[in-house]
């Protein structure tokens, strides 16, 4: 009887994680429409990054990886933005790393405010490095160029509003959701 109860509990947890992940994916698809209304900084706010990071923090690394990878590709297919190649393809790898690193680091680091910021910063840096690497590989495959200047512009300079937004918003949301008992990312 106890095994049956444990199986039901695990199934319930997986259904909740799937539901959260679907919610984060939906937010990743819709949020760019809202920020896109501010043309000067809309894309610089990096709206799809936020749900990928939150999914990793709240559901764990596998779910964060999946939502991060699927979101830009699905959004490109459904709405034509970002452009599939090289934009959505390189973003898929970037956001997958965001979600995976945020989720994994949340599991292995202490559940403190400082560790939340550390996990976020490491995930953001790792994701941007992967984005640049994928863009470089894609440029090599197509015979185009991807310079250090383009990397810095795409990964840092143009993304400063989004980086600031993420550094302010994500830890507040993660800590608030954990205090409310909404986190499903257990070690």
Per domain, the residue ranges of the chain are: 2-179
Residue of 75, 68, 91 lying closest to 31 (CA atoms): 75
145 pLDDT higher than 90? no
Q: What integer is the mean pLDDT of 113-139? A: 96
pLDDT at position 39 is: 67
Taking a C-beta distance cutoff of 8 angstroms, is the pair 50, 170 a contact? yes
Q: Which tens digit of pLDDT belongs to each residue from 14-72?
A: 999 999 999 999 999 999 999 888 766 778 899 999 999 999 999 999 999 999 999 99
Q: pTM to 2 decimals?
A: 0.93
What fold characterizes domain 2-179?
Arp2/3 complex 21 kDa subunit ARPC3 (1.10.1760)
Residue of 140, 29, 147, 152 lying closest to 95 (CA atoms): 29
Q: What integer is the mean pLDDT of 158-169? A: 94
Percent of the chain with pLDDT over 90: 74
- Separation in Å, CA 120 to CA 18, 56, 85, 101, 163: 22, 10, 27, 8, 10
């Amino acid at each position: 009887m106890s095994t049956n109860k444990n199986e039901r509990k695990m199934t319930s947890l997986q259904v909740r994680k799937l539901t959260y992940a679907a919610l984060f994916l939906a937010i990743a698809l819709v949020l760019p429409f809202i920020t896109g209304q501010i043309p000067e900084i809309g894309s610089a706010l990096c709206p799809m990054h936020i749900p990928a990071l939150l999914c990793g923090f709240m559901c764990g690394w596998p779910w964060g990886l999946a939502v991060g990878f699927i979101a830009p590709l699905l959004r490109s297919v459904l709405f034509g933005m970002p452009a599939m190649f090289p934009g959505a393809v390189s973003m898929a790898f970037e956001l997958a790393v965001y979600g995976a690193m945020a989720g994994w680091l949340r599991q292995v680091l202490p559940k403190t405010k400082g560790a939340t910021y550390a996990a976020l910063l490491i995930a953001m840096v790792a994701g941007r490095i992967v984005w640049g690497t994928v863009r470089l590989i894609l440029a090599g495959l197509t015979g185009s160029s991807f310079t250090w200047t383009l990397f810095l512009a795409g990964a840092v300079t143009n993304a400063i509003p989004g980086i600031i937004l993420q550094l302010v918003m994500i830890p507040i949301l993660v800590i608030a959701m954990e205090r409310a008992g909404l986190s499903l990312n257990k070690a």
